[in-house]
Amino acid sequence: MLRITLAAVHLVALGLGLGAVLARGTALRESASNAALRRAFRSDTTWGIAALLWIATGVWRVVAGIEKPTAYYLANPVFHAKMGLFLLILLLEAWPMVTLMRWRRNFSAGESAERLMTMGAGRRIATISHIEALLVIAMVFVAVAMARGFGSRPG
Ligand code: HEM
User: pLDDT tens for residues 80-107?
Assistant: 999 999 999 999 999 999 999 999 999 9
Say yes or no: CB of residue 59 within 6 Å of ligand 1: yes
Instruction: Collect the ranges in the chain with pLDDT lower than 50.
Output: none
Please list, residue by residue across 93-128, b when 16 or more beta carbons sit within 10 angstroms of its beta carbon and e when fewer do.
Answer: beebbebbeebeeebeeeeebeebbeeebbeebbeb
Is 155 a domain residue? no
Say yes or no: CB of residue 58 within 6 Å of ligand 1: yes
pLDDT of residue 108: 96
pLDDT of residue 28: 97
Is 153 a domain residue? no
Is 88 a domain residue? yes
Range of the domain at 52: 2-147
pLDDT of residue 44: 98
Say yes or no: CB of residue 14 within 6 Å of ligand 1: yes
CA 116 – ligand 1 centroid, Å: 36
pLDDT of residue 139: 98
pLDDT of residue 16: 98
Residue with the nearest Cα to atom 41 of ligand 1? 147
